Amino acid sequence: EAQVTQNPRYLITVTGKKLTVTCSQNMNHEYMSWYRQDPGLGLRQIYYSMNVEVTDKGDVPEGYKVSRKEKRNFPLILESPSPNQTSLYFCASRPERLAGLNEQFFGPGTRLTVL
């Protein structure tokens, strides 16, 4: 089944404790992206990747890191989480040909709480 998976789905952590949220897709998509969703603010892009070893900042990259060593995986790293990073996070992917014309496929979401 074609899908985007994320782990963990739920995470409660404490300020400053490094964490990684994994994202994997099995559709051979070039483009992958991370979003956070907060009430009243909608979906905001954190980072995106056009292909392996190519990443770029989205609209709200502060406090996050990403890597793209393999085509299928795009982990999101919070080196020192803070309470303002409490949010619902979505990973997404799409094929890169005809860049803007393709729908993105979203993972199920990761609900992160930083105490």
Partner 1 sequence: GQNIDQPTEMTATEGAIVQINCTYQTSGFNGLFWYQQHAGEAPTFLSYNVLDGLEEKGRFSSFLSRSKGYSYLLLKELQMKDSASYLCALGGYKLIFGSGTRLLVRP
Q: Could you tell me the sign of the dihedral formed by the alpha carbons of 59, 68, 13, 106, in that order? A: positive
Closest CA to 47 of 90, 9, 14: 90
Instruction: Return the number of the residue (66 or 80) whose C-beta is nearest partner 1.
Output: 66
Is 11 a binder of partner 1 (CB under 8 A)?
A: no
Report in angstroms the alpha-carbon separations of 101 from 6, 29, 30, 46. 24, 14, 14, 21
Pattern 40-69, partner 1, x by CB under 8 A: xxxxxx--x-x-------xx----------
Q: Which stretch binds partner 1 (CB under 8 A): 21-29, 62-70, 75-83, 95-103?
A: 95-103
Q: Which stretch binds partner 1 (CB under 8 A): 19-27, 67-75, 84-92?
A: 84-92
Interatomic CA distance for residues 92 and 33, integer angstroms: 5
Residue 98 carries which side chain, given as an amino acid letter? L
Contact set with partner 1 (CB under 8 A): 33, 35, 40-45, 48, 50, 58-59, 88, 90, 92, 99-101, 103-109, 111
